[in-house]
Amino acid sequence: MYVPGGDKRYTFPDLTDAPSALLCLPIPLIPFVRRWIGEMQEQPIWKSRDDWFSAYQAFAEIEEMLMAGCMQQLIDEQRRVYRLLDTSLNGTQYTDVGGVITPALPSVPPASANKTNALRAHVSRLWQLAENEVAGVTASADESILGAPALPDSHTVRDLLRRLTAGIDGNSDPAPDDNLLMALRGTAVATADRNVIDSNIAKLADLLTRLTEIRDKLV
């Protein structure tokens, strides 16, 4: 660094782990900055040859970044993020052959995705499974996800629950001819003694008494 009142030559600072700053420079000032960079690359202003050599490389790199090198790096990193999201969401597979990455980035993302490694495809398939179970919406093979089986059955969970309910208590319109409650209580009125055994317990006790009397006579 420059020391006022002393040696007016510069000592190049240690850039190890030095933070960087992103600078927005008005375009009309670029020629002036480039001239200053050129001055910083001259050997006489540096205290030693090593200082000059380090400064020359550093300012040459700054000049390169000034000519959009730094911006290009930001653009490249942004494209990497897009490819990561595109592969995860849409299942697009990118290849790098000799630094040429294909396919080219599209102007707009696809309206739908059906590749097996696409997150959008799996979310769509889950939506179809839910609709098929709840509302009976059918789907053809390969719909949402390539290789996915068809969903041709339109019977729904709601229909199944309604059939089970009707089979248990007959509470449906129209009511079934028979149900579990009818099988248990017969035609007895639904009271506290509403099943067959409760409603006929007295008759069963009388029958047991008669059988006991028959047994005693036979002994």
User: What digits encode the pLDDT tens for the residues 22-67?
Assistant: 777 888 888 899 899 999 999 999 999 999 999 999 999 888 877 7
Quote the distance between the C-alpha of residue 8 and its chain's center: 61
Residue with tokens 């990118």: 94
Paired residues of 101 in beta bridges: 96
**What are the tokens at 150?**
């068809």
Above 60 in pLDDT, residue 98? yes
Are the C-beta atoms of 51 and 10 separated by less than 8 Å?
A: yes
Are the C-beta atoms of 190 and 169 separated by less than 8 Å?
A: no
* Domain range summary for the chain, segments of one domain joined by +: 1-111, 186-219
State residue 165 phi and psi, 5-degree precision.
-65, -45
Are the C-beta atoms of 147 and 125 separated by less than 8 Å?
A: no
DSSP for residue 17: T
Q: What is the pLDDT of residue 61?
A: 86
Distances (CA, A) of 196 to 45, 171, 180, 190: 112, 20, 12, 11
Are the C-beta atoms of 81 and 51 separated by less than 8 Å?
A: no
Q: What is the pLDDT of residue 108?
A: 92
Above 80 in pLDDT, residue 132? yes
Identify the weakest region by mean pLDDT among 9-13, 114-118, 181-185. Answer: 181-185
Q: What is the pLDDT of residues 61-90, one digit of tens each?
A: 888 877 765 677 788 899 999 999 999 999
Q: What is the pLDDT of residue 174?
A: 67
